Amino acid sequence: MLTADLTQHHAQLLLHSDYRAAPITMPEVPSAIMPTYGRLPVTFSRGEGAILYDTDNRPYLDGVSGIAVTNLGHQHPQVTAAVIEQAQKLVHTSNLFRIDLQESVAEQLRAMTGMENMFFCNSGAEANEAAIKLARRFGHQKGIETPHMIVLDGAFHGRL
């Protein structure tokens, strides 16, 4: 059975909606990490599928998929094999160069979406910057000298 080893206080912190509140800290656990997020008093050491295990080997359901980057689960055999295979060839290169695998994925996306070009980003910040630049370019092409932008205050890419 999965355990949710959170006190009522910590459960309330999870539901707290005031993003401007002071970050939650764990004074009993010294850390060199800047306290920019409200952190809960649990440390995960491994994961299997949708289950995370803390340092005491207690299981938890990973309800956020590692902030949406592990949607196939932890230790998925095909993902693990693909990462190992690619890491043995080339770990990373910049978009400044042609990348055959990237070209292949872009062609597949083109076929599925009907879009002419793709832009792969390495972060949400880069994706938002690209979206703003593309929106401005579109506005200029439509004769809008200074396109106005609508942004979210307090959202992940716009928080204070």
Tens-digit pLDDT profile for residues 54-108: 999 999 999 888 777 888 999 999 999 999 999 999 998 888 999 999 999 999 9
154 within a domain of the structure (yes/no): no
**13-54 pLDDT, tens per residue?**
444 444 445 444 455 567 888 877 777 888 899 999 999 999
pTM score: 0.60
Taking residue 119's Cβ as centre, other Cβ atoms within 10 Å add up to: 12
157 within a domain of the structure (yes/no): no
Q: Please calculate the CA angle 123-141-125 and round it to the nearest 5 degrees.
A: 10
79 within a domain of the structure (yes/no): yes
Is the pLDDT reported for residue 160 higher than 80? no
155 within a domain of the structure (yes/no): no
**Contact of 111 with 103, CB cutoff 8 Å:** no
3 within a domain of the structure (yes/no): no
Between residues 38 and 112, the one the model is more confident about: 112
- Domain count along the chain: 1
Domain around 55: 8-85
DSSP assignment of 91-119 equals S---TTS--HHHHHHHHHHHHHH--S---
Calculate the alpha carbon distances from 126 to 50, 68, 74, 120, 156 in Å: 28, 17, 26, 9, 13
**Contact of 154 with 21, CB cutoff 8 Å:** no
Is the pLDDT reported for residue 122 higher than 90? no
Amino acid making up residue 147: P
15 within a domain of the structure (yes/no): yes
152 within a domain of the structure (yes/no): no
19 within a domain of the structure (yes/no): yes
